[in-house]
Amino acid sequence: MTNTEKRKILQILKSADTCSVSNYYEALENIGDMKYNYGDYMITEPIDCREELKRLPEADYDLCCALLTMLLREDHFCNGSFDRRHKAGEVQPILDRMIALLADRE
């Protein structure tokens, strides 16, 4: 999949009216960027999502994918956490950075 195609999928996800965990999972899997080994990218142990998200401003594309995967996995263990984080504005900046980094690669 090209970076342009990935960017379009992420933009659609970003502009969606609803925040569906399954839509995010599906999008990351479809673009081939789900980081099943997301823990390998993290610097805290146990993983501290709040601390890890502070790394976003300097994150490369792979770390952004890992951060988004981390939030999706957090929701698996703490049902509803992804929706809360989305409403708190913690998900959109990850998508924004991913889209910007993909645009830079074109």
Q: Which two tokens stand for residue 75?
A: 């929701």
As a whole number of angstroms, the distance between CA 28 and CA 58 comes to 21
pTM of the complete model: 0.95
Q: Which residues contact 82 (CB under 8 A, 6 or more apart)?
A: 19, 21, 24, 71, 72, 74, 75, 91
Residue extents of the structural domains in the chain: 3-105
Q: Which two tokens stand for residue 36?
A: 């099943």
For the stretch 52-97, pLDDT in tens is 999 999 999 999 999 999 999 999 889 899 999 999 999 999 999 9
As a whole number of angstroms, the distance between CA 95 and CA 64 comes to 8
Cβ atoms of 31 and 9 within 8 Å: the answer is: yes
CB-neighbour burial class of residue 14 (10 A; exposed 0-12, middle 13-18, buried 19+):
middle
For the stretch 13-47, pLDDT in tens is 999 877 889 999 999 999 999 999 999 999 999 99
